[in-house]
């Protein structure tokens, strides 16, 4: 049983590393460099790049860098808000988009009690995703609500 558990742990680690490499490989070189130098996390770089996609489906590298610098201190939900604001306002300048995205949407703080096993799983998930436990919990809640049909994606 211990051998199977050890093998599964190694497979899980390998698959997570492969997924991270594939995501990393999608980044434009300036964002890769920022990730390599630990200026930003991979997830933030991916979000900044997503927000910097132009109408012709190319990536505006200057916009991606500026957005990544702004987004690096933002929570996951604020980063997602930035992506929405940027994509919903194509006519605005980059500076205007950033200012709109920085405006705080109303946020409700929840205090949740978890048993030890659930917390351990959440911690492992947040580590795998390279994010905080708060952001991981918010992401899982959002994905669960979307799956159940309570949130509609645009």
Say if residue 107's pLDDT is above 80.
Answer: no
CA distance 102 to 37: 25
Instruction: Please count the other Cβ atoms lying within 10 Å of the Cβ belonging to residue 34.
Output: 22
Q: Is there a contact between 97 and 84 (Cβ–Cβ < 8 Å)?
A: no
Q: Write down the pLDDT at residue 19.
A: 45
Q: Write down the pLDDT at residue 108.
A: 77
Q: Write down the pLDDT at residue 152.
A: 74
Q: Percent of the chain, pLDDT > 90?
A: 37
20-53 pLDDT, tens digit each: 556 888 899 999 999 999 999 988 999 999 999 8
- Residue spans of the domains in the chain: they are 2-107, 108-154
Mean pLDDT confidence for 73-80: 84
Q: Tell me the backbone φ, ψ of residue 130, rounded to 5 degrees.
A: 65, 40
Q: Write down the pLDDT at residue 130.
A: 78
Say if residue 61's pLDDT is above 90.
Answer: yes
Q: Name the DSSP letter for residue 106.
A: P
Contacts 24+ apart (CB under 8 A), 131-138: 131/41, 131/43, 131/76, 132/75, 132/76, 134/75, 135/75, 135/76, 135/77, 137/112, 138/75, 138/76, 138/77
pLDDT bucket at 140, cuts 50 / 70 / 90: very high
């Amino acid at each position: 049983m211990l051998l199977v558990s050890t093998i599964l742990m190694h497979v899980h680690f390998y698959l997570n590393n492969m997924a991270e490499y594939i995501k990393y490989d999608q980044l434009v070189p300036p964002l890769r460099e920022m990730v390599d130098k630990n200026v930003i996390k991979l997830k933030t770089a991916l979000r900044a790049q997503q927000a910097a996609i132009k109408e012709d489906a190319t990536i505006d590298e200057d916009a991606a860098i500026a957005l990544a610098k702004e987004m690096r201190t933002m929570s996951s939900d604020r980063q997602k808000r930035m992506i929405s604001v940027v994509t919903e306002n194509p006519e605005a300048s980059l500076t205007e988009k950033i200012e709109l995205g920085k405006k705080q949407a109303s946020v409700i703080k929840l205090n949740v009690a978890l048993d030890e096993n659930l917390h351990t799983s959440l911690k492992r998930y947040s580590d795998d995703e390279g994010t905080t436990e708060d952001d991981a919990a918010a992401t899982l809640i959002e994905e669960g609500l979307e799956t159940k049909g309570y949130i509609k994606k645009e």
